[in-house]
């Protein structure tokens, strides 16, 4: 554990201790605020009417969307069970074909790198807010009230929640239950797919504020002790040419460097001036020279007030959001207690007039738990501890 992480965890723990003591001192529960170690939750009915208004105003649209969500929910259950079963098989027999499965614990410096931490936190927070809001809208749309709504802060993750009236929900029609149970994951799937489309048309998305055509290479970081760092090139500098040859994007830079030999001198032209780099060979390939940078395409801002690194931030956030939204949505539809997939399956079984649904739910939940557990355990054995 590095010094930065130790200091951050110490400050973080101190803040939580102070918050907990203040909560006890001022009896924060009276104001709807509950403070526990590493967990804070604020309950209120102030949001109820606003969510209710939203659910009623567009009721027909919501009903169409969440009815589609029911069909998608069935597909999600089948798909995630298939994917996890197949991945468990690969983890046992063909590790090279397997994908690592791990719990996303938001601990900066420990489970998540400091660089990725902001993207992960924003993604998880937005996922929780949209997931819970979708449940609330689906409930209120069919006259199932919500008791309270609010916000929480758990460990390092902020989010929102709604507390549906479970008694009223239990007495409601099966289609209502299906809409409610599928709404959260379906909404997350929609947002995840939207992010995929956004990244697929990334230059078009940023074109109102940045040039859609890359005109250089943006350095997002330098390798410690690498040629670029030793020459004085810094993070967020922009490379325009190498030995007088213009490089308009990362691919052009990569193609040029394939022809450069180790131990040669390279003239690099940047927005900060020209630099001479004494190149070394790659540790993976001794015949290949490397500059020692991490790069991203440079899109010139249309207006000077826009930072040159913003397209990179947008791309990274979109990439994390598509991954987290789709992955969590699918996992949430596993027929595993207490996930939404388990309750969704229960309603489906009852609609099919299947008796003793409790036993079937126990069996399917056990199978899902075993498959998920195998993926987690075998991923750890094959790939070790994963820090993203």
Residues 288-319 pLDDT 10s: 888 888 999 999 999 888 999 999 999 999 99
Distance CA 49, CA 146 (A): 10
Distance CA 112, CA 202 (A): 25
Q: Report the number of secondary-structure helices (H) and strands (E) in the chain.
A: 12, 12
Distance CA 178, CA 173 (A): 9
What stretch of H or E contains 159? strand 157-164
DSSP 95: G
Average pLDDT score over the chain: 86
**46 closest CA partner among 56, 31, 60, 36:** 31
In the chain, what percentage of residues exceed pLDDT 90? 45
- Do 244 and 267 form a contact (C-beta atoms < 8 A)? yes
Residues 328-343 pLDDT 10s: 899 999 998 888 899 9
φ and ψ at residue 368, rounded to 5 degrees: -60, -40
For position 154, what pLDDT does the model report? 62
Helical pair 310-332 and 117-141, crossing angle rounded to 10 deg: 50
In which band, very low, low, confident or very high, does the pLDDT at 152 lie, cut at 50, 70 and 90?
Answer: low
Tell me, which fold does domain 214-298 have in CATH? Pdz3 Domain (2.30.42)
Which structure tokens are listed for 155? 């460990």
* Cβ neighbours for 310, distance < 8 A, ≥ 6 positions apart: 209, 210, 301
Q: Would you give the distance in Å from CA 235 to the centre of its chain?
A: 25
Residues 80-117 pLDDT 10s: 999 999 999 999 999 888 888 888 776 667 778 878 88
For position 153, what pLDDT does the model report? 63
The region, left, alpha or beta by phi > 0 then psi within -120 to 50, assigned to residue 180 is alpha
Which structure tokens are listed for 316? 């990274």
pTM of the model: 0.82
Domain ranges within the chain, ordered by starting residue? 3-37, 48-203+315-383, 214-298
**Residues, the chain, total?**
388
Neighbours of 127 (CB within 10 A): 24
- Do 251 and 273 form a contact (C-beta atoms < 8 A)? no
Residue 149 has pLDDT above 80, yes or no: no
């Amino acid at each position: 554990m590095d010094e930065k992480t130790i200091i951050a965890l110490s400050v973080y723990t101190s803040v939580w201790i102070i918050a907990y003591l203040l909560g006890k001192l001022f009896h924060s529960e009276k104001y709807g605020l509950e403070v526990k170690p590493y967990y804070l939750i604020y309950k209120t009915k102030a949001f109820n009417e606003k969510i209710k208004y939203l659910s009623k105003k567009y009721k027909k649209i919501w009903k169409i969307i969440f009815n589609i969500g029911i069909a998608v929910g069935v597909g999600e259950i089948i798909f995630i069970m298939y994917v996890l079963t197949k991945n468990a098989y690969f983890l046992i027999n063909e590790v090279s074909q397997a994908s690592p499965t791990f719990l996303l614990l938001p601990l900066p410096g420990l489970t998540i790198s400091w660089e990725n931490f902001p993207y992960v936190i924003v993604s998880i927070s937005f996922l929780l807010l949209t997931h819970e809001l979708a449940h609330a809208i689906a409930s209120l749309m069919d006259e199932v009230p919500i008791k309270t709504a609010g916000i929480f802060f758990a460990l390092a993750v902020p989010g929102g929640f709604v507390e549906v009236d479970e008694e009223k929900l239990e007495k409601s029609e099966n289609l209502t239950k299906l809409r409610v149970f599928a709404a959260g994951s379906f909404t997350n799937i929609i947002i995840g797919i939207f992010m995929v489309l956004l990244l697929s048309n990334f230059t078009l998305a940023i074109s109102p504020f940045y040039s859609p055509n890359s005109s250089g290479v943006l350095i997002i970081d330098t390798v410690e002790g690498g040629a670029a760092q030793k020459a004085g090139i810094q993070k967020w500098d922009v490379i325009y040419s190498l030995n007088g040859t213009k490089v308009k994007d990362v691919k052009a830079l990569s193609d040029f460097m394939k022809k450069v030999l180790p131990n040669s001198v390279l003239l690099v032209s940047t927005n900060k001036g020209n630099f001479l780099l004494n190149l070394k060979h790659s540790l993976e390939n001794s015949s290949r020279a490397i500059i020692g940078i991490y790069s991203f395409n440079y899109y010139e801002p249309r207006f000077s007030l826009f930072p040159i690194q913003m397209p990179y931030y947008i791309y990274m956030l979109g990439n994390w959001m598509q991954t987290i939204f789709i992955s969590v949505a699918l996992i949430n539809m596993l027929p595993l207690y207490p996930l939404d997939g388990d309750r969704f399956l229960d309603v489906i079984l009852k609609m099919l007039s299947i008796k003793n649904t409790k036993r079937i739910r126990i069996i399917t939940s056990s199978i899902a738990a075993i498959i998920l557990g195998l993926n987690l355990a075998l991923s750890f054995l094959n790939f070790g501890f994963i820090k993203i």
